[in-house]
Structure 1
């Protein structure tokens, strides 16, 4: 068979919604927050290319080289490909211990200046907005885990940890608990999915608002890919920083988003979306 060559020059990346539409949606969502509908909502947008003729394995290898991340994966289901460079763990179970590590808080790196890069890490740690977003999701995850963990066992192992990745610094918190040995994967998933970092709080209401305001169906984006061992241990990621590709329709897309609070600046949120897509854009351009 003849391999498909990656023809970058044929890719024209378009946004599903305009910047103006995005900014207006943020303002509307902040009105919902102001009126007590929710505290925080993760709002996402799609970028896409039609008539995209790519070799998915080749593109995944390039993405992994530009942005090596601990929860990356290459996944194929029939005509659909997922090229994922995720930095985020959704949930892991090892024996009776279960942990979740939501990411909330992002700042760009300055890889050319080590001193400046350290200052950016400190800036993220000192950001009241990012700490506020992070702690809201930590509370949501604690609540989710308490549904399936032994009473009194859920704890926050690390709050506001700053971790460095190729393009960005991220704020990551770690929450853990102890589950009964006979609890099954379906019960755990039912209590915890969709993950709080990709929804917001309270979860039920923000899912309704997501359906109302987002212009693209998320599909596998903000979903999860992982494995379950014969011993019933498992580890699953959060599908972010990912390219979705339909080989038959030659439709390529990626989605990016961020947590919106009452104090969010809509223009800064838009720029954060572009920052999160930096590695993907570099591979595709």
Structure 2
């Protein structure tokens, strides 16, 4: 952890559009020392767009990092904490052993000299005591919106940790585990990687943000690693003690030129027994995951089997709500429920053990969370799906995708769903 210096208190407001705020985030990241989450309106998981500028304190997770240390970092001094928690750290929390090397940070949280947030009415609201930083941000906002050039992959193919045959074999093995009673749903993923040393990851991220909006775009830096998360899914939100989880289960591809989906397509998704079973099982798991830290009788499910569109996919979700107990805080809730049920399976522990056995890769930040922690009773976090990483030291670029496996899953269809979720990444190189 770095030595702590001054933290933001005073607020300064600069008129700007949402696109102008996005451009500010890119400029601050380009000049160094900024992490951010950008959200698009109109999605169930819409959240606050927030930029952290110039870290003044940080917590880099190790295998020995405890929940108590995380709480001391987040709650022991003023200012919000922004960063990520890797799926791999969740394995440690759940006692799931792995012989795979740790090839990605377990987690990284930061506090900042300045925090900028987007207010739809006021524009950019900047919290800091540093007048020089206020002037710098104001000048960057004066530049306005900017065009984002297209980014294309160099020639060459992705290397898959599980190719088509390997993934379908993994689904078949998962089905055997389901029939044997070891799990009744699990999420199986594949990693697609390639060497891309001359990548401008920020330009790629901003181009994806422009062309493929979603509610949880997260740009996060950790040493040489860059996280480019374009997630549509909320893990847990706590707003003044009111808890909301919005698990996604159920996917239907929409043809690229079809525009908005037609009502019949929505009914095709919500009427599918297989897709409905996926969602219902995970909703039940999440109800259980949050109930320990919520007031008795407050946990409930609303808007079950709702549908929204992101990219060329229809996604089904539900709202799982509760009220945080007065003797618990948002990190009790987060860490007790982490990793999210929609990307593990149920029962969670045995599903995670099967995932570890079937997947040849380490997930790292994929299926973990990007998170903003404001205080003991206010937080928001994503499920880090539709997520890529880039290593500035090695030039390695990787993107991950997966699908939920239940007893009536078809291996070929599950592979096609996995690929469909990553089309915006593969289209960069015409894959």
TM-score, structure 1 as length reference = 0.94
Consecutive unaligned residues in structure 2, runs of 5 or more: 1-29, 31-149
What corresponds to 2:423 in structure 1? Answer: 278
Map of 1:168-207 to 2, 5 A cutoff?
A: 168-207=313-352
Deviation at 1:23, TM superposition (A): 1.1
Consecutive unaligned residues in structure 1, runs of 5 or more: none
Deviation at 1:125, TM superposition (A): 1.1
Output the CA distance in 2 between the equivalents of 1:120 and 1:152. 35
Q: 1:59 to 1:121 in 2, by over 3 A?
A: same
Deviation at 1:149, TM superposition (A): 0.6
Is residue 2:368 matched to residue 1:214?
no
- Superposed CA deviations along residues 153-189 of structure 1, whole A, max 9, x for unmatched, are 1000121111111211100111000112341233112
What corresponds to 1:263 in structure 2? Answer: 408
The range that moved more, 114-123 or 244-253, is 114-123
Q: 1:90·1:100 contact (CA, 8 Å) conserved in 2? A: yes
TM-score, structure 2 as length reference = 0.63
Output the CA distance in 1 between the equivalents of 2:153 and 2:256. 26
Q: 1:75·1:81 contact (CA, 8 Å) conserved in 2? A: yes
Output the CA distance in 1 between the equivalents of 2:343 and 2:408. 18
What corresponds to 1:64 in structure 2? Answer: 209
- Superposed CA deviations along residues 166-214 of structure 1, whole A, max 9, x for unmatched, are 2111001110001123412331123210100000000010011011110
Deviation at 1:17, TM superposition (A): 2.0
Q: 1:206 to 1:195 in 2, by over 3 A?
A: same
What corresponds to 2:100 in structure 1? Answer: none
Across the aligned residues of Structure 1 and Structure 2, the Cα RMSD in angstroms comes to: 1.9
What corresponds to 1:98 in structure 2? Answer: 243
What corresponds to 1:223 in structure 2? Answer: 368
Deviation at 1:6, TM superposition (A): 6.0
Deviation at 1:123, TM superposition (A): 0.9
What corresponds to 2:396 in structure 1? Answer: 251
Q: Which of the two has higher C-alpha Rg?
A: 2
Output the CA distance in 1 between the equivalents of 2:394 and 2:257. 40
User: Any idea what SS the aligned residue of 1:229 has?
Assistant: strand
Q: 1:243 to 1:118 in 2, by over 3 A?
A: same
What corresponds to 2:163 in structure 1? Answer: 18
The range that moved more, 164-173 or 107-116, is 107-116
Moved over 6 A (4+): none
Among 210, 218, 236, the alignment partner of 2:381 is: 236
User: Any idea what SS the aligned residue of 2:326 has?
Assistant: coil
Q: 1:283 to 1:63 in 2, by over 3 A?
A: farther
Number of residue equivalences: 282
